[in-house]
Structure 1
């Protein structure tokens, strides 16, 4: 089986590395030609497109898409929709975000909850999801959408922020966030690859949405690091992007990945995830 990846970033790179043995070849796009062991890199950026990509897609049995929308359109579809539609791919996975649900007032939601995006970036995500699902229906491809919650793992976690002095223990009463360990994302993708379902949409998140200040405090205690002082959300120094995340509050269920794909999360809450990382 040959894997083609649009956008070999943190999550897609972890999946490709962990599942490398199942693929005869892995070809992936990046915005620079930096070499990666076991991966044939193709440059795909607003300024340059490797001419070999169309041929690579013609040999791809699985396609993983990890490129966000750009100015309202999906870059991969804009450039290669025809090549993807005529490829031999029996599985296409699109990595999206639970941000498409917008603010749900802290309520529990699942895949049956209609998207309600509150920002242009998440409205673009919904449009991209729809475009990929439409391609799947049109071309007879098994396209699956994976709505990811806050991703953490090696090199990207609360310990790193604490050690770098960048952690803030921001308190906004009632606020919770969903999270998912990158290794559990890879498990979900692998399970879907073994059991494709055209048009499937999965929430990929752990079992326990939690207040961000609790996660920071748990990490500090676990690693013996200094606990940052509590900061009221209204006065916290946050970028506009970071502040916008606090405007959305929801608890996202993951029942479908467990019941349909048979996934047992290695890190069902942030506690197991952080213990594994420390």
Structure 2
């Protein structure tokens, strides 16, 4: 591997770790501001390792908070050899050389938040870098998943992501919004799992610095896109009907993540800690 790529991988992993630290601190600060007599929630931090492969990460999960009913913010830096199913999937996506050389390296941050108040939207965000001996790329995005939608919240979330995309290409937001609308769709339910956001994968324009800068901006946009919504809604009154709506929507979210989510499949097939991979699942859900 070229020394330059060693340095680039190190920079990417460090950025994802720093973003993880920034977000967990902001979420704990929101817990301190949230109403309620119970103690403010705090993250339980657990190191993770990959079975029979290299690397690991940090799993950070908060349960039973004032604002967050469950939230996970995971960081990882892993390497090794892809299992046959994962190798075949990469080859089918056209990754150069994957048929002959299954070595890989990957680092990223993955976040899912399920809020206590049904008026506050659930949210997902991840950004990552992936490397093989003959290719590298970035991927990620962020999408909002309210069980009770507010048009102003949806507009704020999308406008913040649009502003993050604009310096990198006039077409980036429209292109990656359309990709999110397609990717976060649940075919067996015939509907989207939320109100969308942006999603991108296999991003390699040939300019590593430019693609890394875009990925950093996507990650940095998350807190200003989401935190004002969570703070505004966490004090809103709700009733049993609202809670029922929330639990049913969470069932929809769980179906998507278990059946279709690419990251869930990759994590389980490459031997990463199952609790870390499945931290996106809600603490409670309902099906009718």
* Class of the TM-score when normalised by the shorter of the 2 chains: under 0.3
How high is the TM-score relative to the length of structure 2? Answer: 0.26
Whose helix proportion is higher, 1 or 2? 2
How high is the TM-score relative to the length of structure 1? Answer: 0.27
